Structure 1
Amino acid sequence: MFNTTTGEDTTVTSALAADRLGVPAVTYFAISMCTPFTVLAGVTTTGYAVTGQVGIPIGFLAMGMVLAVFCVGYVTMAPYVPNAGAFNAYIAKGLGRPLGVAASWLALVSYNAMQIGVYGALGDAAQPLVRAWFGIDVAWWVISLVGWAIVAFLGTQHIDLNGRVLAVLMIAELLVILVYALSFLFHPAGGAVSLETLAPQHLFEPGVGALFCLAVLGFVGFETAVVFSEEAKVPGRTVPVATYLSIGLTTLLYVLGSWAMSVATGPGRITQQAAEHGSDLVFRLAHDQLGVMMMNIGRFLYVTSVLACLIAFHNAAARYAFAMGRERLLPSFFGQTSHRNSSPRGGSILQSVFGLVAIVAFAIAGLHPLRDVFFIWTSAGAMGILLLIVLTSFAIVRFFSRTLTRESAWKRTIAPVIAAVTTLVALVMVLVNFDVTLGVRPNSTLHWAIPIGYLVLLLAGLVWGFRLRRSKPRVYANIGLGAKSVTRTGLGLGRPEDQDDTTRFAPIDRY
């Protein structure tokens, strides 16, 4: 490892702690970011209520299939891009460094929007428990601040400690989802199990873009296996296996859980029940069918699910900031790691500051934790991440069209092209129906402010990237290099344009 001691408890380093995470740990991080129980109790119920769409289960299935095809090229390219800033590194390699800079900014904003929104879900999830256990009403933002302190502390600890915490929380979460789903299916409304919400025709109804936006929101996190590639024991094996496991398990859980919920209420009543009870719908059904104890267990695991999601998002966002600081796209402080445990200290502090400011601002504004904080902010973050997925899909296509590899035609051409087309179609549908997703009027300022904001961010990032090429050629040459960026800084690299050729990248040892 190449590093420069700063004199404090941090090190400007070329890499994070290597050989730390195996397949299970990376999978825990990815699934925890997807946070299945939070998606089912919070996103799915709110989605049923806000959009009025009953085809959410088939939407999850369709998006899971699209993302599975995307993952073929994504994990195939991973050995060529060993970088903690996954999306921006891919885009820099495939579509050029200026767009890679823009993608870095987009990723940082999107992941922070997701993390900020989830703090609202934490407050909403824990309020009923605090009321039941202690007999007092506590403001949601007070609970969120407690969660923020836990996340801020764990974010500066060893990555494997975070992994162990997430493992315990995730396993318990998956078990209760399965118990609830099976109970719902064994107690169908009207005495018969209906497949109505799984009918493919729902994918062709007006407002279907809202389904895809909700589905993307649920799957955000599957891509983070690549974010931890520098810390994986065997990146070429750990990253692909963890990615496919996370996308497969989350698809199964989302489809099963959202469908089972509609079976328990009846497809014709699911939207009305969700609008009436919100995130409490799942627990009301569990109470009626399984009793008070299982309902309380579910409520507790809902809270821990949201907390696990925050831990995972914090770690992923911190590594994006770390990657940007290491490549000098952010001040070098953010490219520092803790001397004690090699965690991305600067990036972690940045996420903690953002979270604290957001919670305080939302509290002062008197916003509703689920509707105004969780749903809107995470929907905005999901749109940004879908845009990154689309750009990454085209980057993968272009990269393999210019790179000599021994990969099969399916991995280097067919699957990436299919993924590029289908993710672009999904993005267009989301943009057209974003007002339905947010539950606002088509002419609402919020409807267009979020997409336009991302467009402005991308254009500003492009301008900054071209400016770096002219004014700071050595910084520009390091964009997308990951752990190699620090070692190359200060060396005679020649003209940056001579190093922008992506036709000769040798992958790291895959096995």
Structure 2
Amino acid sequence: MFNTRAPGRASNVTSALAADRLGVPAVTYFAISMGAPFTVVAGAITTGYAITGQVGIPLGFLVMGAVLALFCVGFVTMAPYVPNAGAFNAYISKGLGRPMGVAAGWLSLVSYNAMQCGVYGALGDAAQPLIRSWFGVDVAWWVISLAGWAVVAILGTQHIDLNGKVLAVLMAAECLVIVVYAVSFLLHPAGGTVSVETLAPEHLFEPGVGALFALAVLGFVGFETAVVFSEEARVPGRTVPVATYLSLGVMTLLYVLGSWAMSVSTGPAKINAEAKEHGSELIFILAGDQLGAAMVGIGRFLYATSVLACLIAFHNAAARYAFAMGRERVLPAVLGQTSHRTSSPRGGSILQSAIGFVAIVICAIAGLHPLRDVFFIWTTAGSLGILLLIALTAIAVVAFFAKNPTSETPWRRTIAPVLAAASTLVALVLVLANFDKMLDVPPSSPLRWAIPGAYLVLMIGGLLWGFRLRRRSPRVYANIGLGAKSITRTGLGLGSPDEQTDTRFAPVPRY
């Protein structure tokens, strides 16, 4: 099926990504751009208010932000021991074993691709009003999505720092407009009073609370991206932790502020009905009444660029997962190649472009609605996979430090990771229990269980493939989770198979 031979002597274009390119700001831009703050506020939050019927969405983001901050303690503590472009699967390989790492790698690729395909629908929805107002013509959403696809495909094969510069400009602008809109909403409260009803703790005990966490996970997808770019970071021991905490903090602030301010402007009692009536237009209707047409125009433009920035970030992250697995020969070796000119993961990038193109064409032929059927369904499915990966990674962190004594403090290696594992498992159970509400389908709908079932089948398939590699290709099996070390050790014939299976290796220096 795949090329499972041990890697031969590696060239400098197949062994690793370009190192020493990304500092803290650039990695942070990628992480926040994957979250796509303005897309979440304008699209996901308004749709969430409409579909779930919950008013505690700001509280859901606040609680999930706290849970993920707890998760990050063990996540970044373990990061120096796992310098690998395939973040989740590398962590899980180290903590739960290589077969589970293979399953996690497959799960990562499918989850990120589901997110990416869904966001192409959001791009078409976001840009349609702009083109109509600028040129007076209606363009099919999928035509716009294909144009965006071409931009993303081209940038995906360029130097990683060029992508970072593009994201820096787009991300800064969208964050600024969220703050401006939110401040305006708070200065124009319904009934003349700023209400904190949507932040009341009792919303955590209402039926359907799992929908709040599912929506929150959708918004936070991307905070883990700092580790995905660890091989390209200038100082991984400092860049990864700082960028992870910074991106998570910024996203939490923007989501809580944006969702709460919207409820203040409409009134907590009316936010669900207003969102159901106006959808993603709600935020622009409120801004138009308070700030004027010019700010609405700016907001619409940045909504579209926010989606584009999200696509660029998702493309780069997914390409690096494919690269990491191809380099280790868990997937075809061609995916583990980098460009001679740009050192970008050429094989993984081309794969992502092909998947995106096919997805857009199929959705267009099927006549799907870009926001409801493409964006919300696909990204909800992807976010469930990401939450599953977060829960498995949290458990893997606990297992790793239990098996490998280190000099880390008890809080960093034991207490916080155990609390994070318990919290993420609770969140996963709540999301699964309320998954029908997130998809806006009846409880008896096959779709409710088809998506979790597909992930279960995928994980079983990955486990079986991992066991097959252990039995038939021990040298390839030994590479799983080692990242660039898989090239320098087995690729050059260094080290015995027993040495290669040892999970304890020195971390990169901390700074």
TM-score (norm: length of structure 1)? 0.97
1:8 is matched with: none
1:175 is matched with: 176
Displacement after TM superposition at 1:493 (Å): 4.5
2:505 is matched with: 505
For the residues of structure 1 that align with 2:496 and 2:28, how far apart are their CA atoms? 40
SS of residue matched to 2:338: strand
For the residues of structure 2 that align with 1:368 and 1:319, how far apart are their CA atoms? 30
Percentage identity across aligned positions? 77
Aligned-pair Cα RMSD in Å: 1.1
**How many residue pairs were aligned?**
503
Which residues of 2 match residues 306-325 of structure 1 at below 5 A? 306-325=307-326
Which residues of 2 match residues 344-359 of structure 1 at below 5 A? 344-359=345-360
Displacement after TM superposition at 1:223 (Å): 0.3
- 8 Å contact kept, 1:54–1:271: yes
SS of residue matched to 1:385: helix
Displacement after TM superposition at 1:403 (Å): 1.1
1:44-69 deviation digits (Å, cap 9, x = unpaired)? 00000111111000000000000000
For the residues of structure 2 that align with 1:437 and 1:88, how far apart are their CA atoms? 27
- 8 Å contact kept, 2:13–2:340: no
Q: Which structure 2 segments of 5+ residues have no match?
A: 1-7
1:412 is matched with: 413
2:136 is matched with: 135
For the residues of structure 1 that align with 2:495 and 2:471, how far apart are their CA atoms? 15
For the residues of structure 2 that align with 1:201 and 1:124, how far apart are their CA atoms? 35
Report the residue type matching 2:484 in the other structure. A
1:421-455 deviation digits (Å, cap 9, x = unpaired)? 00000000000000011100111011000000000
Displacement after TM superposition at 1:487 (Å): 2.1
For the residues of structure 1 that align with 2:110 and 2:13, how far apart are their CA atoms? 23
For the residues of structure 2 that align with 1:286 and 1:194, how far apart are their CA atoms? 19
2:209 is matched with: 208
Which residues of 2 match residues 316-465 of structure 1 at below 5 A? 316-465=317-466
For the residues of structure 2 that align with 1:495 and 1:298, how far apart are their CA atoms? 56
For the residues of structure 2 that align with 1:13 and 1:413, how far apart are their CA atoms? 37
2:36 is matched with: 35
1:476 is matched with: 477
Q: Which structure 1 segments of 5+ residues have no match?
A: 6-10
Report the residue type matching 2:385 in the other structure. G
For the residues of structure 2 that align with 1:226 and 1:58, how far apart are their CA atoms? 27
- 8 Å contact kept, 2:59–2:256: yes
Report the residue type matching 2:467 in the other structure. F
- 8 Å contact kept, 2:101–2:481: yes
Report the residue type matching 1:150 in the other structure. V
- 8 Å contact kept, 2:116–2:314: yes
1:111-162 deviation digits (Å, cap 9, x = unpaired)? 0000000000000000000000000000000000000000000000000000
Report the residue type matching 2:189 in the other structure. P
- 8 Å contact kept, 2:10–2:487: no
- 8 Å contact kept, 2:107–2:459: yes
1:53 equivalenced with 2:50 (yes/no): no
1:150 equivalenced with 2:151 (yes/no): yes
For the residues of structure 2 that align with 1:109 and 1:12, how far apart are their CA atoms? 26
- 8 Å contact kept, 1:474–1:493: no
Displacement after TM superposition at 1:3 (Å): 6.8
2:3 is matched with: none
For the residues of structure 1 that align with 2:108 and 2:116, how far apart are their CA atoms? 12
Which residues of 2 match residues 80-99 of structure 1 at below 5 A? 80-99=81-100
For the residues of structure 1 that align with 2:205 and 2:243, how far apart are their CA atoms? 32
SS of residue matched to 1:338: coil
SS of residue matched to 1:337: coil
1:340-391 deviation digits (Å, cap 9, x = unpaired)? 0100000000000000000000000000000000000000000000000000
Report the residue type matching 2:39 in the other structure. T
Which residues of 2 match residues 221-300 of structure 1 at below 5 A? 221-300=222-301
Displacement after TM superposition at 1:110 (Å): 0.2
For the residues of structure 2 that align with 1:487 and 1:507, how far apart are their CA atoms? 16
Displacement after TM superposition at 1:12 (Å): 4.9
Report the residue type matching 2:165 in the other structure. R
Displacement after TM superposition at 1:492 (Å): 5.8
1:188 equivalenced with 2:189 (yes/no): yes
- 8 Å contact kept, 2:13–2:343: no
For the residues of structure 2 that align with 1:374 and 1:477, how far apart are their CA atoms? 39
Shift in CA distance, 226/492, structure 1 to aligned 2, threshold 3 Å = closer
Displacement after TM superposition at 1:167 (Å): 0.3
Report the residue type matching 1:506 in the other structure. A
- 8 Å contact kept, 2:35–2:251: yes
For the residues of structure 1 that align with 2:20 and 2:497, how far apart are their CA atoms? 34
Report the residue type matching 2:47 in the other structure. T
Report the residue type matching 2:19 in the other structure. A
SS of residue matched to 1:128: helix
- 8 Å contact kept, 1:393–1:416: yes
- 8 Å contact kept, 1:435–1:441: yes
Displacement after TM superposition at 1:405 (Å): 1.1
- 8 Å contact kept, 2:84–2:231: yes
- 8 Å contact kept, 1:335–1:346: yes
1:453-483 deviation digits (Å, cap 9, x = unpaired)? 0000001100000000000001000000001
SS of residue matched to 2:39: helix
1:25 is matched with: 26
2:5 is matched with: none
Shift in CA distance, 468/508, structure 1 to aligned 2, threshold 3 Å = same
TM-score (norm: length of structure 2)? 0.97
- 8 Å contact kept, 1:83–1:323: yes
For the residues of structure 2 that align with 1:126 and 1:313, how far apart are their CA atoms? 19
- 8 Å contact kept, 1:3–1:14: no
Report the residue type matching 2:181 in the other structure. Y
2:70 is matched with: 69
Displacement after TM superposition at 1:508 (Å): 1.0
- 8 Å contact kept, 2:14–2:327: yes
- 8 Å contact kept, 1:96–1:500: no
Displacement after TM superposition at 1:489 (Å): 2.8
- 8 Å contact kept, 2:17–2:345: yes
